[in-house]
Amino acid sequence: MPLVNDPLIVSIIGGTTAGVLTALVGFYVLQYRRKRTTKTDLMSRLNRLDKSLKSHKINDVLAEYEEMLGRVSEADHPEIYAHIMNNRGICHGKLARIVDKEENLAKAIRAYEEALKIYIVEKYPVNYSMTQNNIGTAYITLAEVRDKEENLNKAIRAFGEALKIYVVEKYPVDYAMTQNNLGNAYITLAEVRDKEENLNKAIRAFEEALKIYIVKKYPVDFAMTQNNLGTAYGTLAGVRDKEENLNKAIRAFGEALKIRTVEKYPVDYAMTQNNLGNAYRILAGVRDKEENLAKATRAYEEALKVYTVEKYPLDYEVVVSNMSEVKQLMKAEGQ
């Protein structure tokens, strides 16, 4: 093929090539700017929605996340996609407390699993841990509905994955939160199998959480974890070292009640007072029967100041039943 030597033709070809290149560069710059603008807009909207997660309008927030998924692909905006999926899971988890428990928990777990396809541990370690903690919490709640042992084991594995990143030195608060969740999983698994072993694991997890949740810095979390620890010791008392473990349970409930006052946290106060009453009632079977039954009665009476039949009928029935047991024990002793 002959070479083109005509200066006019060379000029035309050169001009055409330059024009095409300019057009292509312009096109890609425009696409980049559009993508960047779209990402900025999406992140702005996400930030607004994230703040709404604590509101009571969960269905509205979920609908907005769903609408955003129509505009966001996993390929184009992987981080935004994973963010939406994680928060979509949170929404379904919240809805599970109100309606369609099993269905919403299944949706929450699927959403978290989608997020974890992006949030791999090597690339997004903190997001990976956060989502693993979330999916673990969903599995604990699902265990209340079906496949208890299987779902609790899944929860424990998920919390274990989260704790690979949430180490106490780097992420102390997240470490404590996940340890508390892990303790809850073990204390529930103890109802199914290996009671003593799983209760000991629960106690260790709660004690790890309490290394961070000190009363001065995290009073609410401190009280929650002390209550959980008390429950674990109270249950362990049914397996071994009854008196010793009941005394430990009573001390833990006492620590929780330093924060959970009837004025500030009435429902938590009532729950812990009922737990305390149970510990004293069982301890009465070991020693100082009259004294401990009297303490149990006082604790139940404190719980009933909050658990009224009108507002909390189910909790009211539980506490009244516990008080009835105390009265029967007193009657048996001729008190």
Measured N-to-C along each axis, helices 125-142 and 148-165 cross at an angle, to the nearest 10 degrees, of 160
Q: Please compute the mean of the pLDDT values over residues 51-58 and round it to a whole number.
A: 75
- Give the position of tokens 């692909």: 73
CA distance 50 to 160: 26
Residue 28 has a CB neighbour count (10 Å cut-off) of: 10
Give the percent of the chain with pLDDT over 70. 88
Higher-pLDDT residue of 3, 58: 58
Residues 6+ apart with CB under 8 A from 289: 329, 333
- How sure is the predictor about 58, in pLDDT bands with cuts at 50, 70 and 90? confident
Q: Please compute the mean of the pLDDT values over residues 247-274 and round it to a whole number.
A: 98
Model pLDDT, residue 10 = 47
Higher-pLDDT residue of 329, 335: 329
- How sure is the predictor about 74, in pLDDT bands with cuts at 50, 70 and 90? confident
Query: How does DSSP assign 65-129, residue by residue?
Result: HHHHHTT--TTT-HHHHHHHHHHHHHHHHHHHTTS-HHHHHHHHHHHHHHHHHHS-TTT-HHHHH
Nearest to 199 by CA among 213, 211, 179, 185: 185
CA distance 252 to 232: 10
- How sure is the predictor about 130, in pLDDT bands with cuts at 50, 70 and 90? very high
Model pLDDT, residue 111 = 97
Model pLDDT, residue 23 = 53
Nearest to 157 by CA among 172, 175, 178, 142: 178
Helices (H), the chain: 7-52, 58-69, 78-96, 101-118, 125-142, 148-165, 172-189, 195-212, 219-236, 242-257, 266-283, 289-304, 313-332
| 139, two tokens | 């599995």
- How sure is the predictor about 48, in pLDDT bands with cuts at 50, 70 and 90? confident
Whether the per-residue pLDDT at 3 is higher than 60: the answer is no
- How sure is the predictor about 73, in pLDDT bands with cuts at 50, 70 and 90? confident
What would the pLDDT profile of 193-211 be if each residue is shown by its tens digit? 999 999 999 999 999 999 9
Higher-pLDDT residue of 226, 16: 226
| pLDDT, the chain, mean | 90
Residue 1 has a CB neighbour count (10 Å cut-off) of: 3
Model pLDDT, residue 25 = 53
Higher-pLDDT residue of 137, 22: 137
Residue 256 has a CB neighbour count (10 Å cut-off) of: 26
Residue 253 · residue 278 · CB < 8 Å: no
CA distance 206 to 23: 64
Q: What is the largest CA-CA distance in the chain?
A: 123
Q: Please compute the mean of the pLDDT values over residues 184-196 and round it to a whole number.
A: 98
Model pLDDT, residue 4 = 46
Model pLDDT, residue 241 = 97
Residues 6+ apart with CB under 8 A from 18: none
- How sure is the predictor about 29, in pLDDT bands with cuts at 50, 70 and 90? very low
Residues 6+ apart with CB under 8 A from 155: 136, 137, 139, 140, 143, 181, 185
- How sure is the predictor about 17, in pLDDT bands with cuts at 50, 70 and 90? low
Domains of the chain: 213-335 (1.25.40.10)
Whether the per-residue pLDDT at 6 is higher than 60: the answer is no
CA distance 251 to 276: 9
Residue 223 · residue 256 · CB < 8 Å: yes
CA distance 280 to 231: 13
- How sure is the predictor about 33, in pLDDT bands with cuts at 50, 70 and 90? very low
Radius of gyration of the chain (CA): 29
Least confident of 29-33, 44-48, 60-64, 103-107: 29-33
Residue 157 has a CB neighbour count (10 Å cut-off) of: 15
Q: Please compute the mean of the pLDDT values over residues 271-277 and round it to a whole number.
A: 98
Model pLDDT, residue 30 = 44
Model pLDDT, residue 194 = 97
The whole-model pTM stands at 0.84
Q: How far is CA 244 from the centre of its chain?
A: 31
Model pLDDT, residue 69 = 85
Residue 270 · residue 307 · CB < 8 Å: yes
Give the percent of the chain with pLDDT over 90. 75
